[in-house]
Amino acid sequence: MNRRSFKLGWFFLVAEFGRRGFVPRASSFKLVHHHHEKRRQFQASSLLKAKPKRGTAVDSYQTVAVNCNGCRTRLFRYKKKNGTKSNLIKCFVERIVVDSDDEAMQEQISHHAGEESYEWKCTNCDATFGRSAMIRGLPAIKLIGGKTRMTKK
C-alpha cells in the first residue's frame, strides 16, 4: 500500500492507494492533526458573544418610533444604529427611550425587562408584539414579524 497525504487546513488527509490506484474504503482515509504550525486557536464562544455597544456610543444613534401594526399606537422609542434602513428584529432594553406618554408600557419595560418568558403586549389593543430574551448577556425584546411598524421619531 502506498500512502499520500494532502493538507486540509489544520489537518492532513492521509489516503491509501493500492495496486490499481485509489480504492475508496472507510479505512482509506485518516485525519491527522498538523503539528508543525503553532497557531493560536480561539474558542467560538469568545468570538460569538461580543456585547452590543453601550453608553455614549448609543446616544448618537437615530431614534425611531416602534408602533403597533394593528392600532398604530406608539409602543416606545428606540435608539437604532442605522435608523429605518433595515428591519427591527430585536430591541435591547437599554436602548429603549422611556416615554412619559404611556405609563403602562413604561411599567412593562421597568418590571419585566429581565424576565425570560414574558410576552410583550400593546397597551391599547392587547396584541402580543414580542417576547423577552437574553441576547449576548443583555435583556432584549425579540419582536414578532408583522406585529410592529417602525417610523421616524
Domain ranges for the chain: 2-38, 56-152
Least confident of 12-16, 135-139, 147-151: 12-16
Looking at residue 44, what is its pLDDT? 47
Give residue-wise pLDDT tens across range 31-58.
455 554 455 554 444 445 667 777 777 8
Find residue 78's DSSP bridge partners.
Answer: 64, 96
Q: Which CATH architecture has domain 56-152?
A: Beta Complex (2.170)
With pLDDT > 90 as the criterion, what percentage of the chain qualifies? 22
- Mean pLDDT (whole number) for 82-111: 81
Looking at residue 5, what is its pLDDT? 57
Quickly state the pLDDT bin for 147 (edges 50, 70, 90). very high
- What separation, in Å, do the N-terminal and C-terminal C-alpha atoms of the chain show? 73
And the C-alpha cell for 103? 405609563
Looking at residue 6, what is its pLDDT? 54
Pick 100 or 74 by higher pLDDT. 74
- Hey, which bits of the chain come out as E strands? 2-8, 11-18, 21-22, 29-33, 62-68, 74-80, 90-92, 96-97, 119-121, 128-135, 138-143, 148-152
pTM above 0.75, yes or no: no
